[in-house]
Amino acid sequence: MSGIVSGRAGASGLEYDLTSPRGAGAGSTVMVLLHGRGSHKGDLQALGPVLPEDWVLVTPQAPYPGAEWGYGPGWAWYRYVAEDRVVEETLEASLAMLDDFLGELPEVLGFAPGRIVLGGFSQGGTSSLAYGLTRPGRIAAALNFSGFLPASVDVPDGEVVGGVPPVFWGHGQSDPNIPFALAIRGRDRLKGAGVPLVAMDYPIGHWMVPDEIHDAVAMIGTLP
């Protein structure tokens, strides 16, 4: 992978970090990863070495200052309430910005991307899952690492042709921040609607391990 490039997208206004292999070009797979609550755009760039060498990694920064909601000095994708509830308008505003950001990827990258995979950790995972379910056909897959499915998000029929993307949901069985019970609740909603789902559990708390990335990449490798 080449060095990290930082920028700010035009219409969305989101700041981002970008790592692209030297041979990347039109048709390359692009992984867009969203950081967790109170973090920043550079955090998940550390996962670059775990991804396939020919993938582009883009990590946008959330729009809300976390300090205003007591989340520390970093940034947030939405305001959290309790369990699987969020302040809906804050999440929807971020999803609208992600709409613009993904639409700007050809400008950000300098070429037209191929498969776009959206994922993230904690709040980033929740937001990625919500995006995939509410914007059918926009992404190839949604990756949720230790996030939850917001109660306010309607789960569409997974059989809609060309619509709901497959979901990878990795979760720590000892997660104290987003309890494993919330993962079970959200996964059951997805299964009930017929959404394609790969669910993997890990003997960890509220963090990520390389095995999760390998498992997610393996799922993406099965896609058409």
Residues noted as catalytic: 122, 175, 206
Looking at residue 39, the DSSP 8-state letter turns out to be B
Please say whether the beta carbons of 145 and 167 come within 8 A.
no
Q: Which two tokens stand for residue 182?
A: 């919330």
- State how far the Cα of 146 lies from the Cα of 41, in Å rounded to an integer: 18
- State how far the Cα of 172 lies from the Cα of 127, in Å rounded to an integer: 18
Answer positive or negative: Cα dihedral of 51, 224, 168, 86. Answer: positive
CA angle centred on 31, ends 50 and 126, rounded to 5°: 100
Using the structure block, give the residue that is written with the tokens 């990756």. 143
Q: Which two tokens stand for residue 22?
A: 């030297």
H or E element in which residue 155 lies = none
How many Cα atoms are found within 13 Å in the side-chain-facing hemisphere of 106?
Answer: 5
